[in-house]
């Protein structure tokens, strides 16, 4: 079994949702993650709030997010167990993030755990 | 209390106290000596009391005899005195001065320190449970074998090996230091949780014994909660879970010992006092910043104490299971989560999720699928129930499933 | 103390292929850097390196090969650090070896899902 990270990419981190909308997304996300965990395929996951995010560059330059010339922002990620990238993609398809216009989920295999990045 | 009941009663409550205190004094290497002295003390009571009558204060009598036997042992056994008692001597300047402290405080501390010793990561969980039952709960080997559905020989071997391991590992009888207490406490709580579950879910026909197991697990958890070293939110969470579960003890089985499912239970049989205790402990457990699986399971158990079927109830249970599964997967949690999903999000959504679980060697899985298909596709419901029936092992499970097929 | 995710990004197509000695030297710099954070007891999770290829899933089940075609930069890996504030996490990120080869580190506070 391999591990894959599913990265939630929001087209525009500046968009503000209503509290009600956020609550619906929260439930959908928890149900989606719970469903993966119920198959014993969940490893870990975290949300990444947009506020205060920063990017550190060469020569100690620090900029505010969103990042560079794109508005796209990462909203969170989960790591899943899957036998293939296709199985991981199937999990990704259920992500409530995809309901947002222009949003996407990036699926990347985690390299063998070693001492470097 | 009459004499015939008095000695077994005292054995159950005092044997473990004497053993823990003596073992703490002698060190884990001499655990059998501690047990022997405690046993001999009770033997003396059985021999003496019928002729001389029951002493005015039976417990104090037992403690005096145990103390004398312990002192005699130290004096008599040269090897023991030379090698082991030197430490005791060193600190207490002479055998005559040995203080065998059977005060309430020392009994509690010794028992808790023994609990940490017994729940040492070097020995298997099943051996931990066996040792806890023997040393900390005062269960006889027969009772342990009966409760764990195995035989005397297996238990004896298991306990022997475990004690041997504790000896070779030179495990100290003490509270772990601040740096490792949380990690060690985790093992202790796992053992207590399993001990409780042995009692709660046991197939053993002996209801009294099963209840005793639960009560002992609760007693030890309560001791942890009361002690300054171990009074942590996670301990209260486990205690809360045990209270909520125990509150349904009476309602879970009918007169024939058959299991009554939650939705069919008579809630007037639920123990309201235990439910309010559970809520009290759950509140205390919320003080920490870490949510353990016991917090989540206790909260799930809390919602189950509300019989009324509301959307709020099932939505909360679903979210708690979603969180629980992220911390620790188990097939039973996956199935319960899917049941909660059917209550909160509807059967159609739950069927899709259930089919993905693929727990095809588990009769509960097919029972759940049967339940979900009921009223949507009764033919599929029947097929799933029949599959469940073919996989079920115990008579109780088979009866429960057969009833479901019959009413389809 | 909060958890912060450090996301390592760079244009992986632009990495010059180094000699084995250069690669080993880079590996050592990474290890030293991570070890330094760990020695301060600020490392929550060493994290992972990600394989360079991947997929992107969009609405309506559109799946493309990724990571990302429209931007040159992609995520190479991540670590989790413990810090009292954003500023402290940023200070930790400033030591990352990726910065010397044209990459950057995104610093994000973590919230439990």
Among C19, C12, C36, residue whose Cα is nearest residue C98: C12
Q: Which range of residues forms the domain containing residue C70?
A: 2-109
pLDDT tier, A82 (very low <50, low <70, confident <90, very high otherwise): very high
Q: Which range of residues forms the domain containing residue A89?
A: 2-109
Comparing alpha-carbon positions, the chain B residue that sits nearest to A35 is: B353
Cβ contacts of B238 within 8 Å, gap of 6 or more:
B189, B192, B193, B221, B294, B298
Q: Is residue A28 part of a domain?
A: yes
Across B125-140, average pLDDT? 89
Overall CATH class of domain B317-408: mainly alpha
Task: Give the per-residue pLDDT at A84.
Answer: 93
* Token pair listed for B381: 């419901």
Q: How many CB atoms lie within 10 A of CB B114?
A: 24
Across A76-98, average pLDDT? 93
CB under 8 A, 24+ apart: contacts of B58-67: B58/B6, B58/B10, B59/B10, B59/B14, B62/B10, B62/B14, B62/B18, B63/B18, B63/B102, B65/B41, B66/B18, B66/B22, B66/B37, B66/B38, B66/B41, B66/B100, B66/B102, B67/B100, B67/B102
Yes or no: say if B382 and B370 are a contact pair by the CB < 8 Å rule. yes
Yes or no: say if B248 and B214 are a contact pair by the CB < 8 Å rule. no
* Token pair listed for B375: 């009223």
Task: Give the per-residue pLDDT at B93.
Answer: 47
We report the CATH number of the domain holding residue C88 as 3.30.70.1060
- Distance CA(C47)–CA(C106), nearest Å, equals 14
Q: What is the pLDDT of residues B212-222, one digit of tens each?
A: 889 999 999 99
Strand partners, C105: A56, C8
Task: Give the per-residue pLDDT at B180.
Answer: 87
Yes or no: say if B46 and B7 are a contact pair by the CB < 8 Å rule. yes
Comparing alpha-carbon positions, the chain B residue that sits nearest to A33 is: B322
Across B307-319, average pLDDT? 94
* Token pair listed for B87: 């430490």
Percent of chain B with pLDDT over 90: 60
Among A25, A103, B45, B325, residue whose Cα is nearest residue C59: A103
Domain count, chain C: 1
> Looking up tokens 């001499």, which residue turns up?
B30
Task: Give chains near B: 3+ CB pairs under 8 A.
Answer: A
Q: How many CB atoms lie within 10 A of CB B262?
A: 12
Report DSSP letters for B196-240, one per residue: HHHHHH---S-HHHHHHHHHHHHHHHHHHHHSTTT--HHHHHHHH
Quote the Cα angle for C4-C9-C13, to 5°: 165
Report DSSP letters for B128-190, one per residue: HHHHIIIIIT---HHHHHHHTTS-HHHHHHHHHHHHHHHHHTT---SPPPTTTHHHHHHHHHH
> Looking up tokens 């222009």, which residue turns up?
A102
Q: What is the pLDDT of residues A69-80, one digit of tens each?
A: 556 788 899 999
Task: Give the per-residue pLDDT at A51.
Answer: 77
Comparing alpha-carbon positions, the chain A residue that sits nearest to B337 is: A38
Task: Give the per-residue pLDDT at A14.
Answer: 66
Q: Which of residues 29-88 of A touch C (CB under 8 A)?
A: 29-30, 33, 45-49, 51-58, 60, 62, 65, 67-68, 70, 72, 74, 76, 78, 85, 88
B63 φ/ψ sector (left φ>0, alpha ψ -120 to 50, else beta)? alpha
Q: How far does the CA of residue A2 sit from the closest CA of chain B (Å)? A: 18
Quote the Cα angle for C73-A112-A45, to 5°: 70
Strand partners, A78: A6, A45
Q: What is the pLDDT of residues B239-272, one digit of tens each?
A: 999 999 999 988 887 777 677 778 788 889 999 9
Q: Is residue A117 part of a domain?
A: no
- Cβ distance A29 to C106 less than 8 Å, yes or no, reads no
Report cis status (omega within 30 of 0) of the bond before B8: no
* Token pair listed for A28: 């959908």
Q: How far does the CA of residue A43 sit from the closest CA of chain B (Å)? A: 7
Q: Is residue A83 part of a domain?
A: yes
All structural domains of chain B with their residue ranges: 1-101, 103-222, 232-307, 317-408
Task: Give the per-residue pLDDT at A16.
Answer: 72
> What's the length of chain A?
117
Element (H, E) at A81: strand A73-82
Across B117-138, average pLDDT? 90
Task: Give the per-residue pLDDT at A113.
Answer: 59
Residues of A whose CB is below 8 A from C27: 115-116
Domain count, chain A: 1
Q: Is residue A116 part of a domain?
A: no
pLDDT tier, A66 (very low <50, low <70, confident <90, very high otherwise): low
Q: Is residue A115 part of a domain?
A: no
pLDDT tier, B160 (very low <50, low <70, confident <90, very high otherwise): very high
3-state DSSP assignment of residue B100: coil
User: Exposed/middle/buried for C84, CB within 10 Å: 0-12, 13-18, 19+?
Assistant: exposed
Mean pLDDT over the full length of chain A: 85
pLDDT reading at B75 higher than 90:
no
Mutation site for B-interface testing, chosen from A35, A38, A47, A80 by largest number of B Cβ within 10 Å: A38
**B134-143, B257-266, B359-368 — most confident range:** B359-368
Cβ contacts of B109 within 8 Å, gap of 6 or more:
B24, B227
Residues of A whose CB is below 8 A from C105: 55-56
Q: Which residue has the higher pLDDT, B233 or A48?
A: B233
Task: Give the per-residue pLDDT at B192.
Answer: 93
* Token pair listed for B51: 């002729």
We report the CATH number of the domain holding residue A89 as 3.30.70.1060
Yes or no: say if B318 and B341 are a contact pair by the CB < 8 Å rule. yes
Cβ contacts of C20 within 8 Å, gap of 6 or more:
none
- Distance CA(C113)–CA(A44), nearest Å, equals 10
Q: What share of chain C is helix, strand, coil (3-state, %, to 5)?
A: 35, 40, 25
Task: Give the per-residue pLDDT at B254.
Answer: 77
Task: Give the per-residue pLDDT at C19.
Answer: 84
Q: Which of residues 6-35 of C touch A (CB under 8 A)?
A: 7-8, 26-27, 30-31, 34
Q: How many CB pairs under 8 A join A and C?
A: 146
Task: Give chains near C: 3+ CB pairs under 8 A.
Answer: A
Among A10, A1, A75, residue whose Cα is nearest residue A42: A1
Yes or no: say if B370 and B384 are a contact pair by the CB < 8 Å rule. yes
- Cβ distance C48 to A115 less than 8 Å, yes or no, reads no
Task: Give the per-residue pLDDT at B334.
Answer: 95
Cβ contacts of A100 within 8 Å, gap of 6 or more:
A10, A11, A15
- Distance CA(B220)–CA(B112), nearest Å, equals 8
Mean pLDDT over the full length of chain B: 89
pLDDT tier, B81 (very low <50, low <70, confident <90, very high otherwise): low
Q: How many CB atoms lie within 10 A of CB B362?
A: 17
- Distance CA(B211)–CA(B203), nearest Å, equals 12
What end-to-end distance do the CA atoms of chain C give, in Å? 18
Q: Which residue has the higher pLDDT, A110 or A115?
A: A110
Q: Is residue A19 part of a domain?
A: yes
- Distance CA(A64)–CA(B249), nearest Å, equals 58
3-state DSSP assignment of residue B85: helix
Percent of chain C with pLDDT over 90: 35
CA dihedral B40, B42, B43, B48 (to 10 degrees): 130
pLDDT reading at C104 higher than 80:
yes
CATH of B1-101, one of 1.10.1740, 1.20.140, 1.10.3210, 1.25.40: 1.10.1740
Task: Give the per-residue pLDDT at B353.
Answer: 95
Task: Give the per-residue pLDDT at B302.
Answer: 96
- Distance CA(C37)–CA(B270), nearest Å, equals 53
Yes or no: say if A107 and C67 are a contact pair by the CB < 8 Å rule. no
């Amino acid at each position: 079994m391999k591990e894959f990270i599913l990265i939630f990419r929001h087209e525009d981190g500046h968009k503000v949702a209503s509290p009600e909308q956020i609550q619906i997304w929260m439930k959908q996300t928890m149900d989606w993650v719970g469903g993966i965990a119920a198959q014993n395929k969940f490893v870990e996951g975290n949300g990444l709030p947009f506020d205060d995010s920063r990017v550190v560059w060469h020569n100690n330059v620090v900029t505010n997010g969103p990042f560079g010339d794109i508005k796209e922002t990462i909203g969170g990620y989960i790591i899943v167990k899957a036998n293939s990238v296709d199985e991981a993609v199937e999990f990704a398809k259920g992500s409530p993030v995809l309901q947002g216009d222009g949003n996407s989920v990036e699926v990347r295999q985690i390299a063998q755990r070693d001492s470097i990045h | 209390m009459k004499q015939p009941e008095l000695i077994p009663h005292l054995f159950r409550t005092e044997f473990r106290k004497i053993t823990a205190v003596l073992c703490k004094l002698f060190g884990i290497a001499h655990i059998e000596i501690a047990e022997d002295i405690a046993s001999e003390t009770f033997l003396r009571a059985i021999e003496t009391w019928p002729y001389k009558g029951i002493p005015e204060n039976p417990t104090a009598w037992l403690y005096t005899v145990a103390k004398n036997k312990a002192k005699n042992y130290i004096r008599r056994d040269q090897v023991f005195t030379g090698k082991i008692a030197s430490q005791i001597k060193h600190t207490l300047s002479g055998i005559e001065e040995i203080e065998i402290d059977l005060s309430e405080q020392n009994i509690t501390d010794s028992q808790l320190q023994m609990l940490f010793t017994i729940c040492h990561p070097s020995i298997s969980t099943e051996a931990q449970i066996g040792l806890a039952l023997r040393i900390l709960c005062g269960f006889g080997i027969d009772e342990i074998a009966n409760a764990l559905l195995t035989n005397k020989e297996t238990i004896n071997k298991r306990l022997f090996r475990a004690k041997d391991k504790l000896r070779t590992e030179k495990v100290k009888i003490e509270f772990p230091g601040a740096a490792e207490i949380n990690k060690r406490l985790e093992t202790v709580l796992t053992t207590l949780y399993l001990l409780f579950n042995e009692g709660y879910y046991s197939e053993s026909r002996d209801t009294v014994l099963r209840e005793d197991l639960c009560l002992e697990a609760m007693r030890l958890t309560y001791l942890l909660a009361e002690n300054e070293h171990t009074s942590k939110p996670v301990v209260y969470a486990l205690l809360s879970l045990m209270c909520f579960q125990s509150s349904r003890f009476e309602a879970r089985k009918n007169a024939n010992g058959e299991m009554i499912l939650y939705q069919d239970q008579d809630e007037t049989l639920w123990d309201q006092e235990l439910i309010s205790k559970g809520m009290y402990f759950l509140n205390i457990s919320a003080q920490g910043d870490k949510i353990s699986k016991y917090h989540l399971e206790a909260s799930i158990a809390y919602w189950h104490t509300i019989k009324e079927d509301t959307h709020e109830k099932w939505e909360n249970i679903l979210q708690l299971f979603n969180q629980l599964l992220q911390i620790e997967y188990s097939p039973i949690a996956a199935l319960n989560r899917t049941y909660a999903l059917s209550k909160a999000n509807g059967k159609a959504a739950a069927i899709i999720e259930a089919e993905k679980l693929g727990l095809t060697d588990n009769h509960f899985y097919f029972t759940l699928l049967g339940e979900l298909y009921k009223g949507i596709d009764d033919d599929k419901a029947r097929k799933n129930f029949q599959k469940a029936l073919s996989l079920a092992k115990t008579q109780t499970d088979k009866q429960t499933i057969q009833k479901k097929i019959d009413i389809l | 103390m909060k958890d912060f995710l450090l996301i390592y990004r760079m244009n992986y197509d632009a990495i010059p292929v180094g000699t084995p000695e250069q690669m080993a030297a880079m590996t050592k710099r990474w290890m030293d850097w991570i070890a330094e954070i760990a020695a301060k007891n600020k490392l929550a999770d060493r994290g992972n390196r990600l394989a360079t290829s991947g997929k992107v899933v969009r609405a309506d089940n559109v799946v493309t090969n990724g990571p990302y075609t429209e931007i040159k930069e992609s995520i190479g890996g991540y670590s989790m650090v413990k810090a009292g504030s954003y500023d402290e996490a940023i200070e930790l990120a400033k030591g990352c070896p990726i910065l010397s080869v044209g990459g950057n580190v995104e610093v994000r506070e973590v919230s439990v899902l």
